[in-house]
């Protein structure tokens, strides 16, 4: 018997370990702690997780895979992490542009939302958003909207990972007459998606200026009761800060901290108008920041002090924000490019926010902003299998001297070729496998007619 066991051990040592997938690429950009970029690299995957990342020869020797994806002329990288958006608003894309925020909201968005936003609208809008996101390399996104349960259903259909926040706002919304209704809705939502492999449900008080202090505190309490994160817009405009100073003699960051809103896992979007004291609070409370360069530029909100945030080692990720007027798309490649350039122009120093840091913000630092860095954000053994390949056989991709520079300043979302989330292939050869793209695009045009009619 003992001899037999030793024999079995001997045989299994000879045989390669089984894997579900091996991906190979010309460069594997791991974003691991050593920042390894492996030329002729490979990734082995089993189930939902990465087994190993390493040189192709080593991985192939060690693992026997059921399926392979060989991309000899592509970068294999961690999936991109969007830390702030509103997916379903894709159906309002371009409804009104080049307006002041207040006019845009009051004349277009609020009436259009009041007349059109139903669960079915949110389902199709989220499908459209997820389709665009996955095709451009986003594997995790952070959402704030209404009917967030439907957002979660559509995300799971897509196969995307999402931190999804049910919006709490101090006036009647499409899914709640009062903030108390919205909190009750959020409570049910958090219970339903607790422990989901793809969804991290969250509470999303819209902002300090659209909620009462009591509601903000109730949001924090609800999130903590469920062990869930809280996501919020913070100091997006100078107006928001001026109003807070006039009313409370405190900045929005100071006021939210005084209310205890940061006492738990938090992701704050924008943080454009934050001073040194605010940054010290955000750092000490471990608040993740979603920097949204396209949105801040398009709405003329200002430039977030990201260079300073990075010097303090804050967890700053990137987000496209709204598809309906504050950006109009979900392209994380554009956000990397703009984040890098915006810091150069505002500090007058082109060395600030280098390409490698922009990639870091779109991957592992973004994961840190969401409090998910142990699960996603890099290609390492034990992490979730969320990865993408980006083709290098196009004019804008050659010659290649530095992979990070190429990813940030030359490659486009449309160069993304394959996308996997949680071990499931969602995109192959730039085609969505989980969604019927033509059907979703046709539906979006149908909704355009309905929305236009509703505004007459
Ligand atoms: Zn937003």
Q: What confidence tens digit (pLDDT) does each residue in 312-339 have? A: 999 999 999 988 888 999 999 999 999 9
Q: Ligand 1 mean position to 37 CA, how many Å?
A: 33
* Cα 267 to ligand 1 centroid, rounded to whole Å: 12
> Is 401 a residue whose pLDDT tops 80?
yes
Predicted pLDDT at 218: 98
pLDDT score recorded for residue 155:
98
Distance 330 CA to ligand 1 centre (A): 12
Q: How far is the CA of 264 from the centre of ligand 1 (A)?
A: 21
**179 Cα to the center of ligand 1, angstroms:** 19
Reported as a pLDDT band with limits 50, 70 and 90, residue 106 is confident
Ligand 1 centroid–CA 268 distance in Å is: 10
For ligand 1, the distance from its centroid to the CA atom of residue 181, given in whole angstroms, is: 22
- 155-178 tens-digit pLDDT: 999 999 999 999 999 999 999 999
pLDDT at position 419: 99
* Residue 452: count of CB within 10 angstroms of its CB: 11
Going from the Cα of 321 to the center of ligand 1, the distance in angstroms, rounded, reads 5
pTM: 0.96
Band (5; pLDDT cuts 50, 70, 90): low
Tell me, in angstroms, the distance from the centre of ligand 1 to residue 232's CA. 8
Distance 325 CA to ligand 1 centre (A): 11
Q: What per-residue confidence (pLDDT) applies to 104?
A: 87
The whole-number average pLDDT for the span 439-444 is: 98
Ligand 1 centroid to 398 CA: how many Å? 35
Give the Å distance between the CA of 143 and the centre of ligand 1: 9
**pLDDT given for residue 2 in this prediction:** 56
pLDDT of residue 14: 56
Label residue 24 by pLDDT band (50, 70, 90): very high
Query: Using one digit for the tens of pLDDT, what is the confidence trace for 57-86?
Result: 999 999 999 999 999 999 999 999 999 999
C-alpha 271 to ligand 1 mean position (Å): 11
**Residue 9 reports pLDDT greater than 70:** no
pLDDT of residue 254: 98
Q: Binning pLDDT at 50, 70 and 90, where does residue 223 land? A: very high
Question: Span 29-50, mean pLDDT?
Answer: 98
Determine the average pLDDT of the residues in 380-408.
98
Query: Rounded to the nearest whole angstrom, what is the distance from the C-alpha of residue 119 to the centroid of ligand 1?
Result: 20
* Confidence check: pLDDT of 103 > 90: no
Give 155 Cα–ligand 1 centroid separation in angstroms. 18
pLDDT at 189 over 80: yes
Q: Average model confidence (pLDDT) for the chain?
A: 96
Percent of the chain with pLDDT over 70: 97
pLDDT digits (tens, 9 = 90+) for 285-298: 999 999 999 999 99
Ligand 1 centroid – CA 57 distance (Å): 45
Q: How far is the CA of 144 from the centre of ligand 1 (A)?
A: 7
CA of 234 to the centre of ligand 1 (A): 10
pLDDT at residue 18, rounded to an integer: 97
pLDDT at 7 > cutoff 60: no
Q: What percent of the chain has pLDDT over 90?
A: 92
What mean pLDDT do residues 346-351 have?
98
How far is the centre of ligand 1, averaged over its atoms, from the C-alpha of 128 (Å)?
A: 18
pLDDT at 8: 52
The average pLDDT across 211-240 equals 98
């Amino acid at each position: 018997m003992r001899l037999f066991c030793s024999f079995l051990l001997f045989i299994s040592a000879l045989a390669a370990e089984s894997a579900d997938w091996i991906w190979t690429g010309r460069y594997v950009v791991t974003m691991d702690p050593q920042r390894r970029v492996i030329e002729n690299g490979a990734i082995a995957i089993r189930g939902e997780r990465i087994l190993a990342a390493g040189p192709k020869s080593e991985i192939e020797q060690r693992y026997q895979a059921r399926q392979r994806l060989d991309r000899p002329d592509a970068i294999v990288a961690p999936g991109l992490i969007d830390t702030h958006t509103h997916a379903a608003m894709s159906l309002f894309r371009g409804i009104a542009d080049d307006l002041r925020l207040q006019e845009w909201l009051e004349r277009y968005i609020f009436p259009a939302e009041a007349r059109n936003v139903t669960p079915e609208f949110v389902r199709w809008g989220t499908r459209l958003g997820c389709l665009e996101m996955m095709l451009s390399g986003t594997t995790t996104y952070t959402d704030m909207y209404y009917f967030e349960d439907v957002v979660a259903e559509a995300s799971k259909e897509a196969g995307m990972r999402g931190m999804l926040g049910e919006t709490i706002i101090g006036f009647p919304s499409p899914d709640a007459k009062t903030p108390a209704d919205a909190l009750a809705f959020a409570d049910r939502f958090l219970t339903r998606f607790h422990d989901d492999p793809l969804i991290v449900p969250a509470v999303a008080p819209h902002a300090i200026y659209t909620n009462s202090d009591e509601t903000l505190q109730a949001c924090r309490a609800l999130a903590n009761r469920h062990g869930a994160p809280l996501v919020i817009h913070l100091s997006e405009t100078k107006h928001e800060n001026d109003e807070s100073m006039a009313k409370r003699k405190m900045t929005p960051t100071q006021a939210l901290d005084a209310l205890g809103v940061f006492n738990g896992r938090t992701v704050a979007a924008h943080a454009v108008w934050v001073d040194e004291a605010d940054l010290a609070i955000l750092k000490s409370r471990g608040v993740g920041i979603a920097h949204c360069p396209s949105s801040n530029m398009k709405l003329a909100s200002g430039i977030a002090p990201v260079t300073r945030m990075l010097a303090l080692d804050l967890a700053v990720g990137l987000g496209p924000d709204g598809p309906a007027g504050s950006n109009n798309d979900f392209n994380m490649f554009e956000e990397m490019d703009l984040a890098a350039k915006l810091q150069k122009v505002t500090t007058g120093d082109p060395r600030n926010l280098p390409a490698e840091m922009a990639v870091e913000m779109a991957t592992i630092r973004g994961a840190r902003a969401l409090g998910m860095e142990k699960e996603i954000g890099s290609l390492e053994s034990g992490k979730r299998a969320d990865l993408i390949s980006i083709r290098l056989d196009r004019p804008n991709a050659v010659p290649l001297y530095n992979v990070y520079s190429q990813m940030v300043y030359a490659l486009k979302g449309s160069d993304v070729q394959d996308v996997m989330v949680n071990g499931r292939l969602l995109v192959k050869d730039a085609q969505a496998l989980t969604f019927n793209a033509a059907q979703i695009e046709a539906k979006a045009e149908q909704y355009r007619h309905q929305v236009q009619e509703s505004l007459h």
